[in-house]
């Protein structure tokens, strides 16, 4: 964990752009409330294939104009061309955006053409080549190994390549097993990878959604956690209370071990993120 202990500890929040106007109105209230925590930045996801482009832009603009926080749009390769990325980067630069989360994305079902960028590393390289240091580039990292990587060494090899193309820091896929992060950092250190790798934290509020999400992205929900969550059945309040305790403890353990902060997948809800962050102790 030595490589990570040298960085200051920050926290950041992630939102996804809602499809409907009522959803957008609700999100704006959530953003306003969570902005009181003063995160380092608020990131906004981007639908692969540009499916949420307008809504991502609207949300990013809302954060920039209505809070004192930095907004960080996500950008994906899928369906993108050099021209479409250039146009979006021009817009972001004009808006004063300083940070971009650069990803590959996943091909939506029925879509065959990934576009001009095959991997996140291609996008990172393109942004660095054309914009220099205009944007701080965040990339994704996978302590439990990306589901399409044949093994963890291959996963690390391509992660290193992404870093060498110009990534400035990384946010991990969420995980519930502290050791997966510790061993991932250890593996990065042995492979000469040195940049802040911020654990992504998924709050637990709904059993079915968590299981569905986790199956899709290859994050493991450990058996003990699954069993306990299952046992609450319709008792949502007890499930949420237990979920909060688990996530609070994991987040604090990561910070105590020297992780350079935590990135919360807020799922567009104030709680439990607000309460968990308020109760975290960061290294001064
Ligand atoms: C913090 C975070 C935020 C996210 N935000 C979004 C979002 O806003 N929108 C969205 O659609 N998705 C998002 N995702 C999901 C992400 O797009 C998927 O996990 C996707 O499958 C991989 O994206 P990546 O950027 O990690 O891809 P890459 O780094 O390109 O890796 C994808 C796979 O290809 C392999 N690989 C990489 N380079 C090469 C190469 N040169 N040759 C062969 N294999 C290679 C890797 O090992 C890996 O298995 C997010 C994920 C995280 C962790």
Test site for ligand 1: of 158, 173, 201, 268, most ligand atoms within 8 A of the Cβ: 158
186 belongs to a structural domain: yes
284 belongs to a structural domain: no
Mean pLDDT of the chain: 96
Count of structural domains, the chain: 1
| pTM of full prediction above 0.95 | yes
Of 14, 70, 138, 144, catalytic: 14
Q: Which of 192, 242, 238, 272 is nearest to 3 (CA)?
A: 192
**Residues 7-60 pLDDT 10s:** 999 999 999 999 999 999 999 999 999 999 999 999 999 987 767 889 999 999
Token pair for residue 110?
């029925």
- Residues pairing with 24 in the sheet: none
260 belongs to a structural domain: yes
Q: DSSP code of 176?
A: S
3 belongs to a structural domain: no
**Residues 107-152 pLDDT 10s:** 877 766 778 999 999 999 999 999 999 999 999 999 999 999 999 9
Res. 158: pLDDT tops 90? yes
Q: What average pLDDT score do residues 183-212 get?
A: 97
Instruction: Tell me if 218 CB under 6 Å of ligand 1.
Output: no
Q: What residues make up the domain containing 39?
A: 10-278
4 belongs to a structural domain: no
The pLDDT of residue 82 is 97
Report the CATH number that the domain containing residue 50 is assigned in CATH: 3.20.20.220
**Residues 228-261 pLDDT 10s:** 999 999 999 999 999 999 999 999 999 999 999 9
Query: E strand or H helix at 179, and its extent?
Result: helix 178-190
Instruction: Tell me if 121 CB under 6 Å of ligand 1.
Output: yes
5 belongs to a structural domain: no
């Amino acid at each position: 964990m030595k490589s990570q202990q040298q960085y200051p500890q920050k926290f950041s929040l992630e939102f996804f752009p809602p499809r409907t106007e009522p959803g957008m109105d609700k999100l704006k209230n959530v953003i306003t409330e969570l902005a009181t925590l003063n995160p380092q930045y608020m990131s906004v996801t981007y639908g692969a294939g540009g499916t949420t482009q307008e809504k991502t832009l609207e949300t990013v603009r809302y954060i920039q104009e209505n809070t004192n926080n930095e907004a960080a749009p996500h950008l994906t390769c899928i369906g993108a061309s050099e021209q479409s990325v250039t146009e979006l980067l021009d817009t972001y630069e004009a808006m004063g955006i300083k940070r971009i989360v650069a990803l590959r994305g996943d091909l939506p079902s029925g879509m065959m053409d990934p576009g001009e960028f095959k991997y996140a590393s291609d996008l990172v390289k393109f942004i660095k080549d054309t914009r220099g240091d205009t944007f701080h580039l965040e990339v994704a990292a996978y302590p439990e190994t990306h589901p399409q990587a044949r093994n963890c060494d291959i996963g690390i090899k391509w992660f290193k390549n992404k870093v060498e193309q110009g990534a400035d820091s990384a946010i991990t896929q969420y995980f519930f097993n502290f050791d997966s992060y510790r061993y991932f950092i250890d593996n990065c250190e042995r492979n000469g990878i040195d940049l802040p790798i911020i654990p992504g934290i998924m709050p637990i509020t709904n059993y079915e959604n968590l299981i569905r999400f986790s199956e899709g992205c290859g994050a493991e929900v450990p058996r003990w956690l699954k069993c306990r969550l299952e046992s609450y059945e319709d008792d949502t309040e007890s499930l949420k209370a237990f979920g909060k305790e688990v996530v609070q403890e994991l987040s604090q353990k990561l910070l105590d071990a020297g992780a350079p902060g935590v990135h919360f997948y807020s799922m567009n809800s104030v709680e439990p993120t607000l309460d968990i962050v308020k109760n975290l102790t960061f290294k001064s």
